[in-house]
Structure 1
């Protein structure tokens, strides 16, 4: 199933396929399967390992605390004592992560950086879920939300609960309509937050 996800674009280009709506349904179903939370797996291998498997399965990559190299190969996930590898950064560019999988984030205590770029399933509920996750309220320092067409003012405003956030970059978010209000609310709630916006007026 992982191979299907990674190679689905080239596969679609070479095959005689059903109509576009049928293909969308199939990939939507498959991506939902990738995002199903396995709570037993979290108990067995710990939150960071389970979250790593989820993220890589969905096409994202992770970087562990104390390491410079990004991990993007599911089959190359490091082995060793449980709890040795703590997720410090997530780059979810062009991944299929969606709200139903966000329970995997609950146990991440070392996550400082999160990049959501061109994620077609990221919506306001995802940002709200991030902002309500107690561990992330403490740990997140840097966040980028780029070209996520389902994100609106509501989702971005919810990020005010990330009390230790130091840097927020927002770009190409057509659902954002109240740029000045967002700036005012976030800067009032998080005075030390550096915000960069590249939004069309």
Structure 2
């Protein structure tokens, strides 16, 4: 009983007082893993702690200050740490990211009632991308305002998005659902997008069952770990990528994808400028 009680007290101190720099004795650690009741208590404590953190009271946000008059989004004030460490450039970067997130959300809210295809099409056009509808050979972009204005303002099932190009646009991971539910999409391009990484590839690999061509070339944050998830795309026929790190595992992953999908061809490009590989 004393052994169990001491174990509970030690792990309670760790999570309540944050004693990260205090070393635990090996005997106490071993006693915890051998004690089933202590493990059950510890798991229940974590669950209760998780519920307490996620739980929002009725008065949550009651005294929060909104954006200043004449502004649409809340601006985060620089902290003392930002001034003392000369990190104002990072603070300003966060403000621009917050503004970009606000713009993307407000844009999509205007188009969400049009259905997934038209909503995604108008959102991509507002972001400077290009789209092409089914049974239409012409690509649409911002320069063709007259044809964009002719797009319906209500849901129309005849408008099916077939190709989408968001090259060099910093799409956020939280806003990926803006271009989801496009079940007839065949071509998708994220060429040169700095925000595209392994998490993105893992997420989109299960969202486009009929995708035939994927372009993630010049995306510096894409590695072989993200490519492994593309086996979920059975209809993928062409994959355009760039091996920035020049690793053999990258080429091996492409080879394995072609083995899993005999109709797939991986077009591996070499970077214009070599990057330093991680050690």
TM-score tier by shorter-chain length is 0.7 to 0.9
Does residue 230 of structure 2 align to residue 159 of structure 1? Answer: yes
| In structure 2, distance between residues paired with 1:100 and 1:88 | 23
Q: Structure 1 residue 168 and structure 2 residue 168: aligned?
A: no
Instruction: Name the structure 2 match of 1:141.
Output: 212
SS at match of 2:194: coil
Query: Which structure carries more strand by proportion?
Result: 1
| 1:58 alignment counterpart | 127
Distance 1:122 1:175 in 2: 18
Q: What SS is found at the alignment partner of 1:101?
A: helix
Q: Does 1:93 find its partner at 2:162?
A: no
Query: Aligned residue pairs: how many?
Result: 180
Q: TM-score, normalised by structure 1?
A: 0.77
Inter-CA distance 182–93: structure 2 relative to 1 (3 Å threshold): same
**1:168 match: secondary structure:** strand
How far apart are residue 181 of structure 1 and its match?
A: 2.2
- Structure showing greater radius of gyration is 2
Give the TM-score normalised by structure 2.
0.57
- CA distance in 1: counterparts of 2:121 and 2:199, whole angstroms: 21
Q: Matches of 2:91 and 2:270 in 1, distance apart?
A: 33
For residues 106 and 183 of structure 1, do their structure 2 counterparts lie closer, same or farther at Cα, with a shift above 3 Å needed? same
Distance 1:177 1:100 in 2: 32
For 1:79, the equivalent position in structure 2 comes to 151
Unpaired segments ≥5 residues, structure 1: 1-18
Bigger relative contact order (CA 8 A; separation at least 6): 1
Counterpart CA distance in 2 for 1:84 and 1:102 is: 24
Kindly indicate whether residue 256 of structure 2 is the aligned counterpart of residue 182 of structure 1.
no
- Report the alpha carbon displacement of residue 184 of structure 1 after superposing the two structures with TM: 2.9
2:177 pairs with one of 98, 103, 127: 103
Q: CA RMSD in A?
A: 2.8
